[in-house]
Chains A and B, each alone.
Chain A
Amino acid sequence: MSNRYVVKKIVGALLTLFAVVIFNFFLFRIVDRDPLTKYRGRSKLSLEQRETMIRRMGLSGSKWDQFVAYIKSTLQLDFGRSFDSTRPVLREITDRLPATLILVGVSTVLTICIGLYIGAKAGWARGSRFDRVSTSTTMVLYATPEFFFGMLLLAIVAGRTGWFPTGGLRDVGTNNGFVASLLDRTHHLVLPSLTLTLGYLGSYSLIMRTSMLDTLGEDYLTTARAKGLKESDVMTHHAVPNALLPSVSAIAISFGFVIGGAITTETVFSYPGLGLATADAIRNTDLPMLQALFLVASAAVIFFNLVADLTYGLLDPRIRHSI
């Protein structure tokens, strides 16, 4: 792939990230009120301690001083302390990051694989029973709030039958052996990732189907048939590779929704990841946490968009050679 293309995309991603950082700064300074309103234990602080804290949070001095302090601390990954737990925000985030990474990672892989497959088949066999059934189903899936799936799954599967745990990351007391622990964690992962997968399966499938429908009218498909290729080969080698291109872009754009879904899904299943941390931070108006989580979420989306852009470059030779 052209180096210029890769560099251009990476620089773009970094610039966007920087814009988010700046935006973050201004966002939290819209409201001027006592920044320590929600800090637990504030009544026990002396005046000096208060001032020190405010200074540490970068909220004293002129706006420019504050800005510089903010940039410095962000680059050092110092996001202050959580209002709720009083532990450093960075620590809170790194503690919970792996759990969310696994959840979102597994779900995204499943959603992409299953969604693209269903969408491609439905679009190719347009009007067939498979198409009609799968499209109606995916439209209903698309209309459902993903946390509602979680609630239904909990009600049906976990509550009544007890096959799956109703929440958490693992059962306390199952620390004997790596395999047992792994199985246990997987057991806890099933329902949340199923929820998240179902939540976005609909939109990815519909995106791919539309893309496939657009590709159906292309002349090179006729050429392929004229050469004596089987229909399945025409679809796999000619239609799908071209239909993937707009799908990749559309999927990249919708990744922001998956992040949102992680927040609500973790809430439903009390899954201790960044999503649950966000929900808690909302309830406690934990500003430092919210600020940092917003930055992390944005960085994740920017990163995923970068990956999507680079993937697009891999898939479409016209883009690779032009820039």
Chain B
Amino acid sequence: MNDLVPSTSPRDMTWARRKQALARVWRELRHDRAGFVSLVVLLGFGLVALSAPLIADRSLLLAAAGRNNPDLASPSAQFLLGTDDIGRDVLAQLVWGSRVSLFIGIFATVVAVVIGSVVGLVAGYVKGKVATVLLAIDEFFLVVPFLPLAIVLAVILGRSPVTLAIVIGITSWAGSARLVRAQVLTLSERAYVERARALGAGTWQIIFRHVLPGVTPLIIANATLIVPGAILTESTLSFLGFGDRLSPSWGKLLDGAQSSGSITLNAWWYYLPPGLCIIAVVLAFTLFGRALERIFDPRLAGR
């Protein structure tokens, strides 16, 4: 390490080290073609989602907006992606839909990662009876098929986007918990944790200030690989009837396309765009997540 910050504060040194680590990640990411391209794609989608109000007015999503327009009209100058079965602008729904799909996907991942990490950290560090119970619960959530569980939870808890995100999060945390726990088990054997223990640090302190930073890269890489699953799950749930037709996600668009028979009527502008968007975003997150994995764990390089 050649830029040692000339400051004696341990906190300053820690932050300097973290900044260096971040810089290294960024450098390696730039060289990883698949990872870099997917990051660009994701940022592109994010940009579109954020600037939705600038592209199309929100009122275009209302049922009333379609009344004076032809139903299932093919793309034209006025409607770049045609209209849906009640005459609404498909492009507007697609753009606003990106907000809902991305929001639910990311929020669900946050929920899953938070639950999974806490469970993994505690089970890995504390061990003993607590760990056994937590692991049993984790095993349970791994075995129960996620979609039926998500369906049941969604029916019971409600269909708003936030609820859906929480439901998806609940069905997705089990895998992360296992990964985090395995990593924590390895880390807690390390010298610096023993030293902290010997110096009298409390359990929670050790977990959050010493173990957590070591596990964080793994959590981040894993999170980017959970997002694709969450987005796919959301699209499936919306397709099956959850979600809001007046504030549709990409999955909801596909549901609308399916139930209005647009497939047999050949209205490709209705079902192709949302499907392709889902594929693009999921693929981008997956490739980005794999790139991160490769950067954080050099042993995986060459996959």
Which residues does A use to contact B, with CB under 8 Å? 16, 19-20, 23, 27-28, 30-31, 139-140, 142-145, 147-148, 151-152, 154-155, 159-160, 166, 210, 213, 253, 255-257, 259-260, 263-264, 267-268, 278-279, 282-283, 285, 287, 290-291, 293-294, 297-298, 300-302, 305
B contact residues around A155 at 8 Å (CB): 263-264, 266, 268, 271
B contact residues around A31 at 8 Å (CB): 156
User: Cα distance A47–B21 when bound, in Å?
Assistant: 70
Can you sample 19 A-B contacts with CB below 8 Å? A23-B144, A142-B282, A143-B278, A143-B283, A144-B275, A145-B275, A151-B263, A151-B271, A159-B263, A159-B264, A256-B145, A260-B236, A263-B240, A264-B239, A264-B240, A267-B258, A282-B151, A290-B155, A293-B148
A contact residues around B239 at 8 Å (CB): 145, 147, 264, 267
B contact residues around A159 at 8 Å (CB): 263-264, 266
User: Cα distance A210–B300 when bound, in Å?
Assistant: 10
Interface centre among A23, A210, A260 (most CB of B within 10 A): A260
Q: Which of B264, B268, B275 contacts A148 (CB 8 A)?
A: B275
Complex A-B, nearest 5 residue pairs according to Cβ-Cβ distance, in ascending order: A260-B147, A256-B145, A143-B282, A143-B283, A297-B148
A contact residues around B144 at 8 Å (CB): 20, 23, 256, 298, 301
B contact residues around A152 at 8 Å (CB): 275
User: Cα distance A283–B255 when bound, in Å?
Assistant: 13
Query: What is the 8 Å Cβ interface bit string for chain B, positions 142-173, against chain A (1 contact, 0 not)?
Result: 11111111011101110000000000000000
User: Cα distance A260–B279 when bound, in Å?
Assistant: 18
Interface centre among B152, B228, B264, B268 (most CB of A within 10 A): B152
- B224 interface hit (Cβ, 8 Å): no
- B303 interface hit (Cβ, 8 Å): yes
User: Cα distance A302–B143 when bound, in Å?
Assistant: 7
User: Cα distance A145–B283 when bound, in Å?
Assistant: 11
Q: Which of B156, B236, B266 contacts A28 (CB 8 A)?
A: B156
- B235 interface hit (Cβ, 8 Å): yes
B contact residues around A301 at 8 Å (CB): 143-145
A298-B144, A301-B145 given; A151·B275 CB < 8 A: yes
- B257 interface hit (Cβ, 8 Å): yes
Asked if A260 and B155 sit within 8 Å, CB to CB, the answer is: no
Query: What is the 8 Å Cβ interface bit string for chain B, positions 265-278, against chain A (1 contact, 0 not)?
Result: 01010010001001
A contact residues around B176 at 8 Å (CB): none
Residues of A contacting B: mostly = helix
User: Cα distance A305–B142 when bound, in Å?
Assistant: 11
- Shortest CB-to-CB span from A42 to chain B, Å, is 18
Asked if A297 and B278 sit within 8 Å, CB to CB, the answer is: no
User: Cα distance A19–B240 when bound, in Å?
Assistant: 27
User: Cα distance A213–B301 when bound, in Å?
Assistant: 11
Query: What is the 8 Å Cβ interface bit string for chain B, positions 196-236, against chain A (1 contact, 0 not)?
Result: 00000000000000000000000000000000100010011
User: Cα distance A55–B84 when bound, in Å?
Assistant: 47
Q: Which of A27, A160, A268 contacts B156 (CB 8 A)?
A: A27
Further contacts, 4 of them, CB under 8 A, given A139-B287, A267-B239, A294-B151:
A147-B239, A147-B258, A260-B146, A278-B148
Asked if B263 and A145 sit within 8 Å, CB to CB, the answer is: no
B contact residues around A259 at 8 Å (CB): 145, 147-148
- B140 interface hit (Cβ, 8 Å): yes
A151-B254, A259-B147 given; A279·B241 CB < 8 A: yes
- B286 interface hit (Cβ, 8 Å): yes
- Shortest CB-to-CB span from A72 to chain B, Å, is 22
- Shortest CB-to-CB span from B177 to chain A, Å, is 14
Asked if B275 and A282 sit within 8 Å, CB to CB, the answer is: no
Q: Which residue of A lies closest to B152 (CB)?
A: A294
B contact residues around A257 at 8 Å (CB): 145-147
Asked if B142 and A268 sit within 8 Å, CB to CB, the answer is: no
B contact residues around A298 at 8 Å (CB): 143-145, 148
B contact residues around A147 at 8 Å (CB): 236, 239, 254, 258
Asked if A305 and B151 sit within 8 Å, CB to CB, the answer is: no
Asked if A16 and B143 sit within 8 Å, CB to CB, the answer is: yes
User: Cα distance A20–B152 when bound, in Å?
Assistant: 13
User: Cα distance A28–B148 when bound, in Å?
Assistant: 13
A contact residues around B241 at 8 Å (CB): 279, 282-283
Q: Which of B140, B142, B236 contacts A23 (CB 8 A)?
A: B140
User: Cα distance A143–B240 when bound, in Å?
Assistant: 19
- Shortest CB-to-CB span from A133 to chain B, Å, is 15
Q: Which of A210, A279, A282, A305 contacts B143 (CB 8 A)?
A: A305
A27-B156, A155-B266, A279-B241 given; A256·B146 CB < 8 A: yes
Asked if A142 and B286 sit within 8 Å, CB to CB, the answer is: yes
User: Cα distance A119–B282 when bound, in Å?
Assistant: 21
Q: Which of B147, B153, B258, B286 contacts A151 (CB 8 A)?
A: B258
B contact residues around A20 at 8 Å (CB): 140, 143-144
User: Cα distance A257–B271 when bound, in Å?
Assistant: 23
Asked if B266 and A282 sit within 8 Å, CB to CB, the answer is: no
Asked if B151 and A290 sit within 8 Å, CB to CB, the answer is: yes
User: Cα distance A162–B15 when bound, in Å?
Assistant: 65
B contact residues around A213 at 8 Å (CB): 302-303
User: Cα distance A45–B232 when bound, in Å?
Assistant: 42
Asked if B145 and A144 sit within 8 Å, CB to CB, the answer is: no
B contact residues around A166 at 8 Å (CB): 264
Asked if A19 and B254 sit within 8 Å, CB to CB, the answer is: no
User: Cα distance A194–B57 when bound, in Å?
Assistant: 40
User: Cα distance A300–B148 when bound, in Å?
Assistant: 12
- Shortest CB-to-CB span from A1 to chain B, Å, is 22
Q: Which residue of B lies closest to A253 (CB)?
A: B142
User: Cα distance A136–B283 when bound, in Å?
Assistant: 10
B contact residues around A294 at 8 Å (CB): 148-149, 151-152
